[in-house]
């Protein structure tokens, strides 16, 4: 009798370890792209203007998220038909190989438009695979967990996304440090992608040692495996209603809090606050290291007080604090920029009819109105600005704390003359900004590193509140015979669409308005809606029987 508990503990440890370690490596693969978006822009989208290129790079990142619900349907169905273990072996293999191939792809300069096409194809394969991964890992662990510990056991799965991001940042940092920024920008960015093949081999070896879920095995033995999991999940209103509630009342808010705290914060520091990339990665990695244990804490706590109050509290607090937290982050990371904005705010005074939304998918549109010239220059300089309406038909002027720099009209100018005039005008604008205290980049010596880490830690703490208990909450909502399919779809619509498109959407909102904080309205509104819907309509399922 005394040996059985030890054997059980060993079995549970293997289950958690096998599912978690494999998923860490898969998230490592996926997040490499997000962390290296700037280099992806340079090598795969160099045929378009800078703002469009960066939006395209984020869109290519988001493409992987766009197909995640499709992956959830395809692999969720397979998981309910022929097993949890077999399915997430396939998803892992697809994801690892597609990531490795990204490290081998030729650049835009080598093969033209075929380069971004191939890149996006690999992103789609990765997204499909990840769409089937999470549901399998979470279901597999939950179906092994003893009663009263599902939140704790599945919380280890919840740490894998953060640990995967942390691992990707560490590998990037090691490569950057050892070969230097120039070599890293030229070819070194490929090394972390290529290294994923080693991680794939380790992951496969670990997962091949696992047995099938006992709940699924019992369904096989009893002949209760679903023959039509898609129909049972989505064509029957009682279960479809649960899917919709899980999406709006849990996963949508969880997703935007997660991506704001871990991804958008990284983009914000590097792209908008102009903090050095290596320093940004270091500070985010430290915050992740400090925050990761709280996934397990909140998973354990959800076994005591329920999943719903912790997840919805995290959404509500995030909605109330994102704006002040990011403003504190600005002051801490780039105090010279924050001081300049307060002392000499920038305003573009222009006729709205002459201002374009500067997104050029084919790289052929010339943005040559005085308004477009002014806004493009400020966006390239990373300067936040407001827009004020001018008299119809008048040219645009940039006002920097009372100093006015009229922009020129370039619509009728020859290309060579326009380029020369734009270069000269940007130098004039840059000198005026510099005179008012606007820095070109954040001074590493002035970055308040403890405060930056502190803000990032708070953001990650909110992530752990919403994400730590989510796997257990979703597993408990759906019957075993269609669980893999039913829980995967709302999770991946929430995280794939609401969350995955957040960096792209938020950056586009910033580019359109000139306000570096404007993109935060997206996660704030979604998180607030989830808090309300979840409070009113989500039923607490902590401790529910998950074998039926």
Q: Roughly what angle, to the nearest 10 degrees, separates helices 470-477 and 150-179?
A: 140
Do the beta carbons of residue 57 and residue 481 sit within 8 Å?
Answer: no
Collapsed DSSP state (helix, strand, coil) of residue 479: coil
pLDDT value of residue 375: 86
- Shared-domain flag, residues 329 and 344: no
Q: Is the pLDDT of residue 412 over 80?
A: yes
- Shared-domain flag, residues 317 and 430: no
Q: Per the domain annotation, does 284 fall within a domain?
A: yes
pLDDT value of residue 22: 66
Among 386, 415, 435, give the residue marking a domain's end.
Answer: 435
- Shared-domain flag, residues 318 and 240: yes
Do the beta carbons of residue 55 and residue 508 sit within 8 Å?
Answer: yes
First CA to last CA distance, the chain: 29
Q: Per the domain annotation, does 459 fall within a domain?
A: yes
> In Å, how far are 136, 377, 513, 546 from 509, measured between CA atoms?
35, 17, 6, 42
- Shared-domain flag, residues 186 and 201: yes
And the tokens for 443?
């001074």
- Shared-domain flag, residues 43 and 148: yes
Q: Per the domain annotation, does 330 fall within a domain?
A: yes
Q: Which among 7, 293, 309 has a CA at the least distance from the CA of 152?
A: 293
Q: Per the domain annotation, does 546 fall within a domain?
A: no
Q: Is the pLDDT of residue 187 over 50?
A: yes
Structural domain span for residue 422:
339-435
Higher per-residue confidence, 160 vs 315: 315
- Which stretch of 30-39, 90-99, 135-144 has the lowest confidence by average pLDDT? 30-39
Q: Per the domain annotation, does 296 fall within a domain?
A: yes
- Tens-digit pLDDT profile for residues 260-315: 998 899 889 988 898 998 899 889 889 988 998 999 999 999 999 999 999 999 99
Q: Which among 405, 482, 413, 502 has a CA at the least distance from the CA of 219?
A: 482
Do the beta carbons of residue 292 and residue 163 sit within 8 Å?
Answer: yes
pLDDT value of residue 400: 95
pLDDT value of residue 63: 75
And the tokens for 16?
């958690």
Q: Per the domain annotation, does 543 fall within a domain?
A: no
- Shared-domain flag, residues 304 and 395: no
Which H helix or E strand runs over 346?
A: strand 346-350
Higher per-residue confidence, 244 vs 478: 244
Place of tokens 């084919």: 362
Q: If you average pLDDT over residues 513-518, what whole number do you get?
A: 87
- Tens-digit pLDDT profile for residues 189-215: 999 999 888 888 887 887 787 777 777
DSSP letter at 409 equals P
Q: Per the domain annotation, does 547 fall within a domain?
A: no
- Shared-domain flag, residues 172 and 310: yes
pLDDT value of residue 131: 80
- Shared-domain flag, residues 222 and 191: yes
- Shared-domain flag, residues 280 and 403: no
State the total domains in the chain.
2
Which H helix or E strand runs over 5?
A: helix 3-35
DSSP letter at 507 equals H
> In Å, how far are 314, 333, 372, 392, 482 from 451, measured between CA atoms?
21, 8, 36, 45, 46
- Shared-domain flag, residues 192 and 327: yes
- Shared-domain flag, residues 330 and 345: no
Which residues, at least 6 apart from 240, have a Cβ–Cβ distance to it below 8 Å?
233, 234
- Shared-domain flag, residues 287 and 424: no
- Tens-digit pLDDT profile for residues 439-468: 988 999 999 999 999 999 999 999 999 999
Q: Is the pLDDT of residue 36 over 70?
A: yes
Q: Which among 376, 381, 368, 307 has a CA at the least distance from the CA of 337?
A: 381
Among 375, 400, 435, give the residue marking a domain's end.
Answer: 435
List the 403-406 sheet strands across, edge first: 386-389, 346-350, 397-400, 403-406
Which residues, at least 6 apart from 309, have a Cβ–Cβ distance to it below 8 Å?
none
* CATH number reported for the structural domain that contains residue 207 in this entry: 1.20.1250.20
- Which stretch of 158-167, 246-255, 357-366, 395-404 has the lowest confidence by average pLDDT? 357-366
Do the beta carbons of residue 203 and residue 21 sit within 8 Å?
Answer: yes
Q: Per the domain annotation, does 309 fall within a domain?
A: yes
pLDDT value of residue 364: 53
Among 435, 453, 473, give the residue marking a domain's end.
Answer: 435
Higher per-residue confidence, 67 vs 504: 67
Higher per-residue confidence, 477 vs 137: 477
Place of tokens 């399998």: 136
pLDDT bucket at 52, cuts 50 / 70 / 90: low
């Amino acid at each position: 009798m005394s040996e059985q508990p030890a054997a059980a503990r060993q079995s549970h440890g293997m289950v958690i370890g096998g599912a978690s370690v494999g998923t860490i490596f898969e998230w490592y693969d996926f997040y490499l792209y997000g962390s290296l978006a700037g280099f992806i822009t340079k090598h795969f989208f160099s045929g378009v203007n800078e703002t469009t290129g960066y939006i395209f790079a984020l869109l290519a990142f988001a493409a992987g998220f766009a197909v995640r619900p499709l992956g959830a349907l395809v692999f969720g169905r397979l998981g309910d038909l022929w097993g949890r273990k077999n399915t997430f072996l396939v998803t892992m293999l697809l994801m690892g190989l597609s990531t490795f191939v990204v490290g081998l792809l030729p650049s835009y300069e080598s093969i033209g438009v075929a380069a971004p096409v191939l890149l996006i194809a690999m992103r789609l394969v990765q997204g499909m695979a990840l769409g089937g991964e999470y549901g399998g890992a979470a279901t597999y662990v939950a179906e092994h967990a003893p009663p009263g510990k599902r939140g704790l056991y599945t919380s280890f799965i919840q740490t894998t996304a953060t640990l995967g991001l942390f691992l990707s940042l560490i590998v990037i940092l090691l490569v950057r440090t050892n070969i230097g920024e120039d070599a890293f920008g030229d070819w070194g960015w490929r090394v972390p992608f290529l290294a994923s093949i080693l991680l794939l081999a380790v992951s496969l070896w670990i997962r091949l040692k696992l047995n099938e879920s006992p709940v699924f095995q019992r369904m096989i033995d009893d002949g209760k495996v679903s023959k039509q999991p898609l129909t049972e999940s989505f064509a029957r209103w009682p279960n479809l209603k649960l899917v919709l509630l899980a999406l709006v009342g849990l996963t949508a808010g969880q997703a935007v809090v997660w991506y704001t705290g871990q991804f958008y914060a990284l983009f914000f520091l590097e792209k908008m606050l102009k903090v050095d990339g290596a320093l940004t990665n270091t500070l985010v990695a430290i915050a992740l290291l400090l925050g990761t244990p709280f996934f397990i804490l909140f998973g354990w706590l959800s076994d005591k007080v329920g999943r719903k109050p912790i997840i919805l509290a995290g959404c509500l607090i995030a909605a109330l604090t994102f704006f002040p937290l990011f403003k504190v982050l600005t002051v801490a990371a780039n105090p010279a920029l924050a001081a300049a904005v307060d002392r000499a705010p920038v305003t573009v005074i222009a006729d709205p009819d002459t201002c374009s939304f500067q997104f050029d998918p084919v790289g052929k549109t010339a943005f040559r109105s005085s308004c477009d010239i002014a806004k493009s220059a400020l966006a390239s300089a990373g300067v936040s600005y407001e827009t004020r309406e001018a008299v119809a038909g008048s040219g645009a002027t940039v006002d920097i704390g009372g100093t006015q720099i009229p922009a020129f009209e370039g619509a009728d100018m020859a290309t060579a003359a326009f380029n020369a005039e734009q270069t000269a005008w940007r130098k004039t604008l840059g000198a005026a900004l510099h005179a008012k205290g606007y820095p070109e980049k954040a001074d590493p010596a002035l970055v308040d590193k403890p405060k930056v880490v502190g803000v990032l830690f708070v953001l990650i703490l909110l992530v752990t509140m919403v994400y730590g208990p989510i796997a257990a909450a979703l597993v408990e909502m759906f019957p075993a015979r269609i669980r893999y399919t039913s829980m995967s779809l709302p999770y991946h619509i929430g995280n794939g669409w609401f969350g995955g498109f957040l960096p792209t959407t938020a950056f586009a909102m910033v580019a359109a308005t000139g306000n570096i904080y404007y993109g935060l309205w997206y996660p704030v509104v979604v998180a607030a809606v989830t808090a309300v819907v979840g409070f009113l309509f989500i039923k607490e399922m902590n401790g529910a029987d998950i074998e039926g």
